[in-house]
Amino acid sequence: MYVREIKGRPAKQGLLFLQWILLWISTCVAGGLGLSGCFKQGDGISISRTTGSSDSILSTDDETDKANKGLPKSGPPKVTFQEFKSIIDARCLTCHGAGSGNGDFAQFADEKAWTDSPYINLNESGNDRLISSPIIARISGNGLDVPSANMPKNLPQIPSAEIEKIKNYILGIFSGTEGGSGETEIPFSCNPGTSPSDSPLKRLTKTEYVNSIRDALRFIGNSSIENAVFNNVSAKFTLIPEESTEEISGINDGTSQDHMDGYFEVGVAIGDALVPYKNTLLHGCASYTTPSCVRNLIRDFGKLIYRRPLTTVEIEFYYSAYLEAESDNESNLFAILFSAPQFIYHLEDQGIIAGSLPGTYALTPYELASRLSFHFWKTMPDSALFAAAELPPGNSASLMNESGYQAQVDRLFSDTRSDQSVKGFFNEWLELKKTPDVRQSNANEWHYGYAGEIDIFSNSDIYKDMISEIENLGLYYTKISDSPIESLFNSDISLAESTGLAQIYGVPQWNGSFNTSALRRFPAGERTGLLTRGALLASNEIETNPIVKGVRIRRKLLCDNLPPPPPGVVRPDTLVGLYTKREKVTAQTSDALCMTCHKDINHFGFATEDYDSLGRHRDQEQVFLDSNSRDFTGIDIDSTALANVFLGDTREVNSGIELNSAVGSSYKLKACVARNYFRYTYKRYENTVEDGCQLESIRNRLKSGTIKEFFKNIALDPMFKLRKPGA
């Protein structure tokens, strides 16, 4: 017995969607709005499915409802998200505030959070959307049978005018322009004059911290001594905890006791390591008994450590500390300097008010130099960048001069030191640290020859190479071939350096050179694009994991939120017998409640079922007769699936290659990459309202240009030179 997918549904969905579009347009035009009046500025948001609420979703299978879909005769008056939120905050947070346990509205800080929440259903349009959005049902009580109607309870009711505003806001959320694939491009909403979101104080990541120590030691002026001191101290770096792998590094940057103890020990170690060379540090000055020599040392060494000149007050503080110690004065001084908060944190506390943007400061030249350097090189500024920061704006080489700034951006990006940052972005955006280590296979059957000649047991090369392959692909298409983002999804280049990964791919090993002649290519028609690479395919089981593959694409490439499984969901028993993984997953997630999310997950995984759990291309799946058997039967792979990249996407894909094309060409991908790059650059989550202009700028760059321009030119965005600390 096989479970088959209902193939007829997608065709019907596509036709109804087209009907809806035509009906919507004709209604707008008839209402005197014209075609442009139908569409409002929206936001570059993605649509997620609401779950858990019995009154939330009208089934997309319900053709009757679709045919009877009510549409407004004219477009609703524009209501901004801020207007909507101010009503909610005023009327609802008394009972639904943070920690209330009644449904915490305070957690929905921005528009995306609200539109992704269970309270607004964007799967429908027009009146159906109002009926099926629980927030409307609760405040007006005229929706579906909702027990908690006529909110707020025991408080004055929301005035009808405000209810209308809430309704009009919800009606007016979705808009944009039609793309060639049927996708509607949804730009981020940009309101010029809006201050960026708050930029909290951040500490240096461990990589930045270690690199900055190494580079601050260039003050010594003797590379062999610099290396000796750095190597002496290196053993202490293990005391500093590694960054979390759960998010883009720097976002979750709490300081723990281990951090603090580690910073202290590193500082003390640096002090002790420098003492043998303390006279070298005076750079010709008389001695440590001469006050001006010590002050100058503090001034000049401190400038590198602080990444800006020290004030007189700061110099005197360290000089006093130097004198006050009863022993090891020089060592103590260096330890204290390298433990300064100005070294450990990205302190941007010197700027001036930035014009008309409330609460926003323009970075000083030194702060800008630091921001540039840490972004592109993961370390403090070098001498050239410092020099540019110190030139007056009138000088064409000045960092505060447009041409000088551009020159520094170009220099930093072109340097090989930016490779780490480029690779780091791809690593963190795609969560490559979660790549399964196939050595940790839990499949008893591995030793039954499933892996064949591929050695998956004894070394970690395959795992590491799967990660570095993606990083190198990102580097290649960003800095070397200067290609658009679509190239990542159409690429047939193999950068498999290890024997194991090359065997998985069935290609010769790559020698590490980016020269065109050295690049390996997959056989035609077998494998192209990011989604057919080992890191995004592998599981550490003998079976693939379509759900994991699908979740990653949905979350990381399309930025759709996926809630956890709702409580009380009953998972059907797994099919036992000669079934493919696709069939098993389909059966397991067939429950209606499960399908509210899994209809947006499973298909991505199914489309790449033409690759096995190591990432090898296949036409058949090896299904073992039972767990004790070495024998298997081959069942033909079915990798057809709906693309379902965006709402209403009824395209069918037949393979991982086609899925790559569908995802890579989408507006939604570009919006998602823009979000992730924002996070990578600023080490915080975006606010689609406050950061809309910057997000749109990043997105447009990716849409219209190359990855190189996208990566490099974020530094040219006005917001890059600003900081809003918050209240």
Partner 1 sequence: MFYSKSNRRHFLQGIGGFTLGLPFLPSLVIKSARAEDPLPPKRFIALWSGLGGVLDSNWYPTANPSGPESLIYSASQTSDGSVHNYRKGPLQIVDGRISNVFGPEISAFKDQMNIVRGLDFMFHAVHHKGNLGNFATSNQNKTIGMPQIPSIDQVIGKVRDAGLLHRNIVVQSRAPLYDGSISYSYEGTPQNPTDIRQVSALSAKDLFDKIFKVAPPSGTFNRRQFIADKIRDDVQNLLSGISGDARRLSAEDRTRVQQHIDLLDETERKTRLVSSCGENSPPGNNTPYPQGENNPELAVANFKLFNDVIAIAFKCDSSRLATFQIRGEGIYEHGISHSSHEPSHQATVVQYNDWILKNIIADLLTKLNVEEANGKTYLDNSLIMYTQESCMNSHECISMPCVTWGSAGGEFATGNYIDYRNLNSNLFKPIRDYFYPGVPWNRWLATILQTQGLTPAQYERPGIKGYGEQFIERGESTLSPTDRRPAYQHQLADIGKILPGIK
Question: Closest distance between partner 1 and the C-beta of residue 536, in Å?
Answer: 15
Which one of 20, 264, 277, 514 is in contact with partner 1 (CB under 8 A)?
264
Please give the full DSSP string across 541-580, using - where no structure is assigned. Answer: SSS--HHHHHHHIIIIIS----PPPPTT--PPPPP-SS--
Touching partner 1, residues 566-595 (CB under 8 A)? 571, 573-574, 576
Question: Does 244 engage in binding with partner 1 (CB under 8 A)?
Answer: yes
Contact region with partner 1 (CB under 8 A), list: 75-83, 314-322, 516-524, 599-607: 314-322
Q: Which is nearer to partner 1, 79 or 368 (CB)?
A: 368
Alpha-carbon distance 594 to 588, whole Å? 9
Provide the β-strand partners of residue 652. 642
Provide the β-strand partners of residue 66. none
Residue 674 contacts residue 702 (beta carbons within 8 Å): yes
Which one of 41, 80, 157, 342 is in contact with partner 1 (CB under 8 A)?
342
- Residue that the structure tokens 């001594």 belong to: 225
Question: Does 313 engage in binding with partner 1 (CB under 8 A)?
Answer: yes
Question: Does 348 engage in binding with partner 1 (CB under 8 A)?
Answer: yes
Closest to 484 (Cα-Cα) out of 662, 670, 659: 670
Touching partner 1, residues 468-527 (CB under 8 A)? none
236: alpha, beta or left? (left if phi > 0; alpha if psi -120 to 50): alpha
Alpha-carbon distance 52 to 151, whole Å? 20
Question: Does 626 engage in binding with partner 1 (CB under 8 A)?
Answer: yes
CB neighbours (10 Å) of residue 58? Answer: 18
Q: Which is nearer to partner 1, 523 or 726 (CB)?
A: 726
Q: Which is nearer to partner 1, 131 or 432 (CB)?
A: 432
Helix (H) / strand (E) element for 521: namely strand 520-521
Closest to 541 (Cα-Cα) out of 622, 613, 619: 613
Structure tokens at 702: 């990716």
DSSP 476: I
Q: Which is nearer to partner 1, 539 or 665 (CB)?
A: 539
Which one of 146, 229, 270, 335 is in contact with partner 1 (CB under 8 A)?
335
Question: Does 627 engage in binding with partner 1 (CB under 8 A)?
Answer: yes
Alpha-carbon distance 218 to 227, whole Å? 9
- Residue that the structure tokens 């139908």 belong to: 38
Which one of 193, 221, 341, 525 is in contact with partner 1 (CB under 8 A)?
341
Touching partner 1, residues 16-75 (CB under 8 A)? none
Is the backbone peptide bond immediately before 152 cis, with ω within 30 degrees of 0?
yes
Q: Which is nearer to partner 1, 99 or 394 (CB)?
A: 99
Question: Does 109 engage in binding with partner 1 (CB under 8 A)?
Answer: no
Question: Does 245 engage in binding with partner 1 (CB under 8 A)?
Answer: yes
Touching partner 1, residues 416-445 (CB under 8 A)? 439-440, 442-444
Which one of 317, 514, 591, 595 is in contact with partner 1 (CB under 8 A)?
317
Which stretches of 397-485 are DSSP H helices?
Answer: 402-414, 419-429, 461-475
Question: Does 267 engage in binding with partner 1 (CB under 8 A)?
Answer: yes
Which one of 61, 62, 242, 631 is in contact with partner 1 (CB under 8 A)?
242
3-state SS string for 278-324? HHHHCCCCCCCCCHHHHHHHHHHHHHHHHCCCCCHHHHHHHHHHHHH
Touching partner 1, residues 660-689 (CB under 8 A)? none
Q: Which is nearer to partner 1, 285 or 336 (CB)?
A: 336
Q: Which is nearer to partner 1, 268 or 470 (CB)?
A: 268
Q: Which is nearer to partner 1, 73 or 447 (CB)?
A: 447
Helix (H) / strand (E) element for 722: namely strand 722-723
Alpha-carbon distance 10 to 8, whole Å? 6
Instruction: Give SS3 for 167.
Output: helix
Q: Which is nearer to partner 1, 136 or 268 (CB)?
A: 268
Question: Does 613 engage in binding with partner 1 (CB under 8 A)?
Answer: no
Structure tokens at 94: 């008394």
Residue 688 contacts residue 44 (beta carbons within 8 Å): yes
Structure tokens at 37: 């009046």
Question: Does 312 engage in binding with partner 1 (CB under 8 A)?
Answer: no
Question: Does 258 engage in binding with partner 1 (CB under 8 A)?
Answer: yes
- Separation of first and last alpha carbons in the chain: 63
Q: Which is nearer to partner 1, 2 or 457 (CB)?
A: 457
Touching partner 1, residues 527-546 (CB under 8 A)? 540-541, 543, 545
Site map (CB under 8 A) of partner 1, residues 208-237, x = contact = ---------------------------x--
Q: Which is nearer to partner 1, 158 or 333 (CB)?
A: 333
Question: Does 446 engage in binding with partner 1 (CB under 8 A)?
Answer: yes
Touching partner 1, residues 186-205 (CB under 8 A)? 198, 200-201
Q: Which is nearer to partner 1, 441 or 644 (CB)?
A: 441
Touching partner 1, residues 708-727 (CB under 8 A)? 725-727
Which one of 340, 357, 388, 674 is in contact with partner 1 (CB under 8 A)?
340
